[in-house]
């Protein structure tokens, strides 16, 4: 039986990934795992809670997760290359396993992102052969600028009929089966409608292009040692944080006025809407940079110990991500507790904070006894087609007892 050794971790990268997982979860909770869109809130307080979460985390946490995916891709490929092993074929197989887990997860929750990351990871593989970081960065920028949307905006303004057709995802709607159907009804609609709707949104909203750009950026950051040698990039992180903050503030105020400058009429409405979508996407990316650089500044500074507590969650992101929906989809959906009808946005956020604290505690306790999260171990074992991947940590034997020397004892 093949034995696969345990691989040491970069705690800072794990902590950042744990932070991304936290952000994703705190978005999913007031979103009621997508049921929010069937009945958006109108109460001022609840709307303020929702809008605050969306401003700070929606789209940003997802983007940060995609960037971390690119970093992890480079680390896996590079460590194998350093041993003289071409990991390309095995990594493709690894992505196939991730896609399979995503397909199974998507039966339960249509918003699954594992399948999406698996496909984009497959497209990422050829770029590992590109040696020029400058070329990779230009490609990353090109993908993040939403080139397909930009082409459609220009074509729409020039009068092209195809470019003035509303994207398919604009007409997507949540089925009330999620509110009142049985578990089997939910699975059935996830297979029949939910899967196609997810991909329609990912493509039409530019998420696929964004993920590709962020994954390439993550690969470059991994290649230059941005996370492996943090002290070397301290000054760059500080300058980047200031610049990102300034650009984020600027985009927050000018994105809507800029979109309004795009001509629109009764028959030409798509270009302006797409311009707003591109600008919103850029705002999300810049805010993601603020979150990432701000997190790293605090992690490598005054809050190192506090933010380091997130590292165990980052080491078992796959298990926790799937576990979150396994627990909370039945909490909100009709076949379970059906709390979509009564839980407020504030309650959902507070419940999310408490639930993530419990997940952190679970992760800390788990890694006292195990090397990998449960799904992480399955994924790694499946990648190498062996059960020889270490899972349970060996117990440290207690030191042998020795007789007390004179003067060491006492009655206390």
pLDDT per residue as tens digits for the range 341-374? 999 999 999 999 999 999 999 999 999 999 999 9
What pLDDT sits at residue 412?
40
CB 125 within 8 A of CB 113: no
Asked if residues 214 and 63 have their Cβ atoms less than 8 Å apart, the reply is yes
Asked if 115 contacts 106 with a C-beta cutoff of 8 angstroms, the reply is yes
Q: Which two tokens stand for residue 263?
A: 């001509």
Residues near 265 by beta carbon (within 8 Å), at least 6 away in sequence: none
Ranges of residues in the chain with a pLDDT under 50 are: 1, 5-6, 404, 406-412
- Tell me the three-class secondary structure of the chain, residue by residue: CCCCCCCCCCHHHHHHHHHHHHHHHHHHCCCHHHHHHHCCCCCHHHHHHHHHHHHHCCCHHHHHHHHHHHHHHHHHHHHHHHCCCCCHHHHHHHHHHHHHHHHHHHHHCCCCCHHHHHHHHHHHHHHHHCCCHHHHHHHHHHHHCCHHHHHHHHHHHCCCCHHHCCCHHHHCCCCCHHHHCCHHHHHHHHHHHHHHHHHHHHHHCCHHHHHHHHHHHHHHHHHCCCCCCHHHHHHHHHHHHHHHHHHHHHHHHHHHHHHHCCCCCCCCCHHHHHHHHHHHHHHHHHHHHHHHHHHHHHHCCCCHHHHHCCHHHHHCHHHHHHHHHHHHHHHHCCCCCCHHHCCCHHHHHHHHHHHHHHHHHHHHHHHHHECCCHHHHHHHHHHHCCCCCCCECCCCCCCCCCCCCCCCCCCC
pTM of the model: 0.92
Q: Which has the closest alpha carbon to 162: 62, 268, 291?
A: 268
Side-chain-side CA neighbours of residue 326 (13 Å): 9
Q: What was the pLDDT predicted at 168?
A: 82
Please tell me the predicted confidence (pLDDT) of residue 170: 83
CB–CB of 354/58 below 8 Å?
no
User: For residue 411, what pLDDT is reported?
Assistant: 38
Q: Is 239 exposed, middle or buried (0-12, 13-18, 19+ CB in 10 A)?
A: exposed
Query: According to the model, what pLDDT value does residue 403 have?
Result: 54
pLDDT confidence of residue 395: 80
Q: Are the beta carbons of 191 and 107 closer than 8 angstroms?
A: yes
Tens of pLDDT along 372-395? 999 999 999 999 999 999 999 988
Q: In 3D, which of 6, 4, 22, 1 has the Cα closest to residue 309?
A: 22
Tell me the C-alpha distance between 173 and 325, whole Å: 20
């Amino acid at each position: 039986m093949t034995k696969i050794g345990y691989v040491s971790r970069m705690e800072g990268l794990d902590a950042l990934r744990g932070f991304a997982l936290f952000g994703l979860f705190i978005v999913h909770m007031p979103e009621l795992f997508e049921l929010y869109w069937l009945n958006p809130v109108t109460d001022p307080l609840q709307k303020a809670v929702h809008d605050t979460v969306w401003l700070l985390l929606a789209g940003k946490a997802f983007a940060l997760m995609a960037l971390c995916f690119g970093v992890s891709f480079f680390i896996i490929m590079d460590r194998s290359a350093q041993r003289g092993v071409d990991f390309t074929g095995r990594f493709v197989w690894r992505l196939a396993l991730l896609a399979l887990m995503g397909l199974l997860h998507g039966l339960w929750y249509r918003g699954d992102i594992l399948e999406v990351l698996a496909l984009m990871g497959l497209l990422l593989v050829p770029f590992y052969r590109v040696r020029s970081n400058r070329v990779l960065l230009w490609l990353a920028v090109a993908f993040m600028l939403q080139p397909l949307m930009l082409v459609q905006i220009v074509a729409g303004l020039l009068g092209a009929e195809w470019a003035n057709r509303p994207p398919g995802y604009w007409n997507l709607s949540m089925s009330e089966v999620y509110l009142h159907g049985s578990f089997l009804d939910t699975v059935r609609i996830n297979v029949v409608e939910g899967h196609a709707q997810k991909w329609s949104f990912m493509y039409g909203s530019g998420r696929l292009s964004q993920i590709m750009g962020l994954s390439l950026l993550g690969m470059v950051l991994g290649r230059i040692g941005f996370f492996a040698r943090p002290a070397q990039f301290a000054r760059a992180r500080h300058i980047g944080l200031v610049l990102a903050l300034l650009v984020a503030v600027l985009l927050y105020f000018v994105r809507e006025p800029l979109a309004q400058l795009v001509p629109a009429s009764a028959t030409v409405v798509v270009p302006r809407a797409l311009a707003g979508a591109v600008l919103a996407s850029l705002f999300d990316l810049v805010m993601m940079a603020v979150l990432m650089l701000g997190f790293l500044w605090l992690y490598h500074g005054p809050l190192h110990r506090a933010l380091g507590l997130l590292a165990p969650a980052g080491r078992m992101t796959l298990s926790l991500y799937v576990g979150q929906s396994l627990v909370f989809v039945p909490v909100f959906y009709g076949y379970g507790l059906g709390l979509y009808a009564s839980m407020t946005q504030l309650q959902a956020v507070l419940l999310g904070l408490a639930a993530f604290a419990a997940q952190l505690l679970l992760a800390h306790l788990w890694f006292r006894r195990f090397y990998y999260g449960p799904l992480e171990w399955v994924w790694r074992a499946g990648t190498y087609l062996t059960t020889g991947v270490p899972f349970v940590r060996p117990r440290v034997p207690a030191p042998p007892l020795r007789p007390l020397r004179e003067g060491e004892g006492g009655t206390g």
